[in-house]
Amino acid sequence: MKNVEEFQLSGNGDTTGYDPNVSSYKSNDEQVLAHFGKRQQLKRNFSLISVLGLGSTLMLTWEGSIVGIQPLLINGGPTGAIAAFPVVMTGVSIQVLVMAEMASMIPLAGGEYNWVAILSPPQLSNFLSYTTGWILTIAWQAACASVTWLNSSIILAIVSANYPTYQMKLWHGTMIFYAIVAVSILVNTYLGRIFSSLEAVAFVLHIVGFFVILIVIIYLAPKTDTSVVFGTFINGGNFSHDVLSAIIGAVSMMYSFNAEEIKDATVTIPRAMIITVLLNGITGWAMLIAMVYCMGPVEDVLTYSFGFPYIPIFQSITNSKGGATTVTCIILMISIPGSIGFFATASRMLWAFAREDGVPFSRQISTVEPRTALPIYPIAVTVTISLLLALINLGSTTAFNALSGLTVAGFYSAFIVSASVMLYRRLTVAPSDIAWGPFRLGKAGVPLTIIALVYSFVGWFFSFWPPVSVVTVKSFNWSLVVYCGTMITAMGWWTFRARFTYIGPRLEAGICDGGDRSV
């Protein structure tokens, strides 16, 4: 079995993204996979609308502007939050443009680690691909657990708002977490056929819910004076400079896709990525502006307990617990499919990396159940990891919250590596000798990649910072410890095992026989 590293990135400026000599396959998608030495193993149930639904429920940008309003205000206040949002969105948008070009060229389920393997210098290909694969795998596992925990916390907040005598216990959240995991297992296995339809419905709810909540907020709430909104900066972390405080308070955004399950992947992925980030950016910024105008005195928002001030805000706006609960349930109905989507993406990321022998027990994990064409074992491993991670909350909420920082650091690290090797390829290979996909940045590729790298490094660096300048055990950002622990584990496995067995993305026997293997 050969590896993709043996290919040369060449193609006389070809923009088709697939090998025309592979004539035994029925679809362009299968030809693209065959071009990179891969068989079609997972069902392709995702159209553009389904991918938009998945991307929107994974990003949850306007929902995040509501749910995450308190940490935004602690470091930045209304002024800092409104100013930081377009800066972050610009950086994310440039990231997405760079990623969309690579996804168009190499639309495989592993994403960045496949891109790194194919685009890197041969002597570094295996190591960089392996490292990127570990970073992505752990990041998705952490994201899966943290988003599921967020949903369980929203449910607890709804219960607390409607039953004032309720005494919340940490284990209550863990049990709700397990219930959401059970629903995710059901949808990702027995109800796997409806998953893409569920994400399409979630996308509709994402759009309709935005307008419903926005209209309710704007129509019913008294408005704060513009001078207060744009003239109130809060440095709640007591940092040395307000800009530093605003950077730490800014929202970092995540984005993903399931390339090998998307119809016409070379075209759909870039289109979905760009539409999703623009749509979520515009709606997220609009919702943030509406919230800071209509939430009432910022001092009250900062003093709400449980970190979920949006429920008291909605209750104040609607003058009703029922109204506040209804509005919050709309967010929950969108974010629950987000948890399901994270389980799907995390398990497929693990499956893709195990297919290349990148993790322990790769042979078992990479098995696809023939009847359903679903990666059952990766789903089981992802569920097990999430159930174990949920137990951390019983002893320390700060340790569990480190998963959020690990997720951001992981995704930004993976992007930095993949964008760097893409920049290297641009600078060392003539454009006419690269087999471009349907989406291409052209001459803007080099400057956009450099800007994206600078932004990503800044985001990666500050993802490890604590929310306050005076650091204690409680306020310390444990994501740095988890991140370093993950990298030490990955390097240990590389030293004792993977460097002898991992050869990057592999060519599956019989796929490329008789065809042009250039990439």
Secondary structure (DSSP) of 452-498: HHHHHHHHHHHTT--SSSS--TTTS-THHHHHHHHHHHHHHHIIIII
- Residue 262 has which token pair? 């998307």
Range of weakest confidence among 9-13, 62-66, 336-340, 395-399: 9-13
* Predicted confidence (pLDDT) per residue in 89-118, tens digit: 888 889 989 988 988 888 765 678 888 988
State the distance between the two ends of the chain, measured CA to CA, in whole angstroms. Answer: 18
Secondary structure (DSSP) of 255-313: ----GGGBTTHHHHHHHHHHHHHHHHHHHHHHHHHHHHHHS--HHHHHH-GGG-THHHH
Q: At what angle do helices 170-188 and 376-390 cross, to 10 degrees?
A: 170
**pLDDT of amino acid 400:** 61
DSSP state of 429: S
Task: Judge whether 224 and 18 are in contact, CB under 8 Å.
Answer: no
Q: Is the pLDDT of residue 415 over 80?
A: yes
Q: Return d(Cα 257, Cα 481) in angstroms, integer.
A: 28
Please give the average per-residue pLDDT across 466-489, as a whole number: 82
Task: Identify the sign of the CA torsion 72, 73, 78, 83.
Answer: negative
Q: Is the pLDDT of residue 474 over 90?
A: no
pLDDT interval class at 177 (50, 70, 90)? very high
Q: Which residue did the predictor score with more confidence, 517 or 504?
A: 504
**CA–CA distance from 328 to each of 66, 308, 311, 325, 335 (Å)?**
10, 11, 7, 5, 11
Burial of 123 (0-12, 13-18, 19+ CB in 10 A): exposed
Identify the three-state secondary structure at position 46: strand
Closest to 4 (Cα-Cα) out of 516, 504, 513: 504
Q: Is the pLDDT of residue 458 over 50?
A: yes
**pLDDT of amino acid 421:** 95
User: What residue ranges define each of the domains in the chain, with the CATH number in brackets?
Assistant: 15-501 (1.20.1740.10)
Q: Return d(Cα 325, Cα 123) in angstroms, integer.
A: 57
Identify the three-state secondary structure at position 75: strand
Task: Judge whether 188 and 340 are in contact, CB under 8 Å.
Answer: yes
pLDDT interval class at 185 (50, 70, 90)? confident
pTM: 0.82
Phi, psi at 448, each rounded to 5° = -65, -40
Closest to 410 (Cα-Cα) out of 35, 52, 33, 145: 145
- Residue 467 has which token pair? 């929310």
**Sequence-separated (6 or more) residues with CB below 8 Å from residue 130:** 113, 358, 490, 494, 498, 502, 504
Mean pLDDT of the chain, nearest integer: 78
Task: Judge whether 271 and 119 are in contact, CB under 8 Å.
Answer: no
Please give the average per-residue pLDDT across 253-268, as a whole number: 41
Q: Return d(Cα 358, Cα 488) in angstroms, integer.
A: 15
- Residue 221 has which token pair? 């709430």
Task: Judge whether 518 and 10 are in contact, CB under 8 Å.
Answer: yes
Burial of 449 (0-12, 13-18, 19+ CB in 10 A): buried
Q: Return d(Cα 519, Cα 512) in angstroms, integer.
A: 12
Task: Judge whether 223 and 107 are in contact, CB under 8 Å.
Answer: no
SS3 string, 191-220, reads CHHHHHHHHHHHHHHHHHHHHHHHHHHHHH
Q: Return d(Cα 38, Cα 459) in angstroms, integer.
A: 34
Phi, psi at 262, each rounded to 5° = -105, 135
Please give the average per-residue pLDDT across 341-359, as a whole number: 85
The residues pairing with 75 across neighbouring beta strands, listed in sequence order, are 235
Q: Return d(Cα 110, Cα 42) in angstroms, integer.
A: 13
Task: Judge whether 451 and 94 are in contact, CB under 8 Å.
Answer: yes
Q: Return d(Cα 66, Cα 285) in angstroms, integer.
A: 11
Q: Is the pLDDT of residue 129 over 90?
A: yes
**pLDDT of amino acid 307:** 62
**pLDDT of amino acid 399:** 59
